[in-house]
Structure 1
Amino acid sequence: MTQPATPPPPRITARCHPALEPLLPKPVPARQALPDWLRAMPAETPATSLAGAEVRTLKHCPPILDALSLGLMIPLAADLHIEKGEVSWDWDLPPLPDTLISRAPIGLHVPEQASGVPWHLAHNAILKFMNFWTLEAPPGWSLLFTHPLNREDLPFRTLSGLVDCDLFRDGYVHFPALWTDKDFSGTLPAGTPVAQVIPLPRTTPDLTTVPMAEAEIAANRKMQEALGEEPGTYRKNFRH
């Protein structure tokens, strides 16, 4: 019996003003923007807490790797220079009289706009990364914009937001972010990932909570034994 064909993945279309196209870093699949620290991480390393026994590192954890690779990554548009809490840039955009897009790569929110929210602000403002790409999602799909997953090495934390980009296809989605590293001094280079984009169908599954049946308890036990006895069980058998 012939298996049904796998439907093509939903396509997201990113557009920018034609005058900016040669100047902007382009959005990329997140799998193409994996962090340098992951590439440099050994597959195994001795653990001092286990008398030097070799243990597998995060490179052996498919759920973390899949999260890092999920969706798209929006890059920082221009180099940002940070010194003593002040941000500057050297980025000369051409005049664009036919659009209202900002000519600055960042904006600011005053702290009062987050009154009552328990966020730590390293500086007296909330940074906003300006996005120069519109994003069109397929019909019935929304886009979750969030901090690049598992990227605690970045000196900021992008706030999460969900946008119906099948409808809001002609607008720009910008990214408010908390600057979390008060001691950071230097340049945040153009191309730094500032937001991960995860497509989500607008229909949310219903939830049912039930106790396990006897057969499900046995299946659960069998699964736990396999995961503990054979390295790579999840990756080999339960991952697309």
Structure 2
Amino acid sequence: MSLQNNNNKLTLRFRCPKELEGLLPPPVPASQGVPDWLKAMPTTAFSALNQQDEQTIKRCPPFVDAMTCGFLIPLICDLRVEDGEIIWDNDIPPGGETEFPRSPISFHDPGQVTGTPLFEADRFVIKFHNLWTIEAPDGYALFFTHPVNRFDLPFTTLSGLVDCDRYKDAWIHFPAHWHDTNFRGVLARGTPIVQCIPVKREDWTTQTSSFTTEDTQQVQALRAELRREPGLYRRKFRA
């Protein structure tokens, strides 16, 4: 099956059980999920080192483009964290023809990450539940990772690559390391828990070489142009 619109845009298909239609916060394009801190931050800030205003990362296209690539999958209900416990009130109906977890999270036994930097004998790895199945176009996998550059979140979602053009009729849940043990309060419904980025399956090789004379001239010319025009990448090279 080819998942394409009439305007030839590739499409990801998210589906949920009938009982949950209209009750789950839907996945959104990552461009619509930019955090408030990025919206509010200035584009320039004074550099004490250089004694002048310098551009902030808000003016760095690679930083922003990574954050706005693909789609964000949101937390399905509020999580309240207090006294070392995570509690919730998730008012969704039980499964009908299709069974599904009603809780927003579950846990991995710490033994499952034995030998990794995540292992702590007395701490579980949480798992965010996702109640959307995801179908990608033929030839595409989905790279699931922590929402890019979201260092403000109290957890870090583990990364994984799933062939969602083939594996499309079952849930994909998302393990995460809750790294902020001092967090107290509510992690709100709709908080992005994972970013999914389509990746076309292709075979790649590498090629290494030293600069030719022409290469050296091109590198020097571009570096000089970048020094003259700080916003050159955004104007000339950004797709």
Q: Report the TM-score when normalising by structure 1.
A: 0.93
Contact 1:120 1:180 in 2 (8 A): no
**Deviating runs (4+, > 4 A) in structure 1?**
120-123
Equivalent position SS for 1:117: coil
Superposition pairs of residues 31-42 of structure 1, within 5 angstroms = 31-42=31-42
Contact 2:104 2:129 in 1 (8 A): yes
Contact 1:121 1:178 in 2 (8 A): no
Residues 39-98 of structure 1: per-residue CA shift (max 9 Å, x gap): 0100111122333x1111011100001000000000011100101221000112112131
Q: Which residue of 2 aligns with 1:14?
A: 14
**Whole-angstrom distance in 1 between the partners of 2:145 and 2:44:** 30
Q: Which residue of 1 aligns with 2:29?
A: 29
Contact 1:123 1:182 in 2 (8 A): no
Equivalent position SS for 1:187: strand
**Whole-angstrom distance in 2 between the partners of 1:212 and 1:195:** 40
| CA RMSD, Structure 1 to Structure 2 (Å) | 1.5
**Whole-angstrom distance in 2 between the partners of 1:141 and 1:121:** 35
Contact 2:133 2:172 in 1 (8 A): yes
Residues 161-186 of structure 1: per-residue CA shift (max 9 Å, x gap): 00000001111110000001010000
**Whole-angstrom distance in 1 between the partners of 2:157 and 2:93:** 28
Equivalent position SS for 1:113: helix
Contact 1:122 1:179 in 2 (8 A): no
Change (3 A) 1:62 1:121: farther
Q: Which residue of 2 aligns with 1:3?
A: none
Equivalent position SS for 2:217: helix
**Whole-angstrom distance in 2 between the partners of 1:10 and 1:72:** 13
Contact 1:121 1:180 in 2 (8 A): no
Q: How many percent of aligned residue pairs carry the same amino acid? A: 45
Contact 2:148 2:195 in 1 (8 A): yes
Q: Which residue of 2 aligns with 1:100?
A: 99
5+ residue gaps, structure 1, are 1-6
**Whole-angstrom distance in 2 between the partners of 1:59 and 1:120:** 35
Residues 159-214 of structure 1: per-residue CA shift (max 9 Å, x gap): 00000000011111100000010100000001001000000011132211111111
Equivalent position SS for 1:49: coil
Equivalent position SS for 2:225: helix
Shift of 1:122: 11
